[in-house]
Amino acid sequence: MGIENTIGQEVVDAAVQLHRELGPGLLESVYEATLAEEVKQRGYRAEKGLDAVDGIPER
């Protein structure tokens, strides 16, 4: 498994764990902040509020 897959799986595992613990219905900002902290506790760097590239050129 490549490093990208390993990191991706860690982030997904953290997100699933947090959703099970916190449950549905909270503000996105709560999940975002909590996930960032969980990812940091797992030894990774996490930043909030960054733009994502979707691969679709702007028109």
Q: Is the pLDDT of residue 52 over 90?
A: no
Question: For 42, phi and psi rounded to 5 degrees?
Answer: -85, 0
Read off the tokens for 41.
């506790």
Q: How high is the pLDDT of residue 55?
A: 78
* 3-class DSSP assignment, residue 57: coil
Domain presence at residue 52: no
* Residue pair 37/57 in contact by the 8 Å Cβ criterion: no
* Residue pair 31/16 in contact by the 8 Å Cβ criterion: no
Q: What is the pLDDT of residues 1-29, one digit of tens each?
A: 698 899 999 999 999 999 999 999 999 99
How many domains are contained in the chain?
A: 1
Domain presence at residue 20: yes
Whole domain around residue 37: which residue ranges?
6-41
Domain presence at residue 51: no
Other residues' Cβ atoms within 10 Å of the Cβ of residue 19: 14
Domain presence at residue 59: no
Using pLDDT thresholds of 50, 70 and 90, give the confidence band for residue 49.
confident
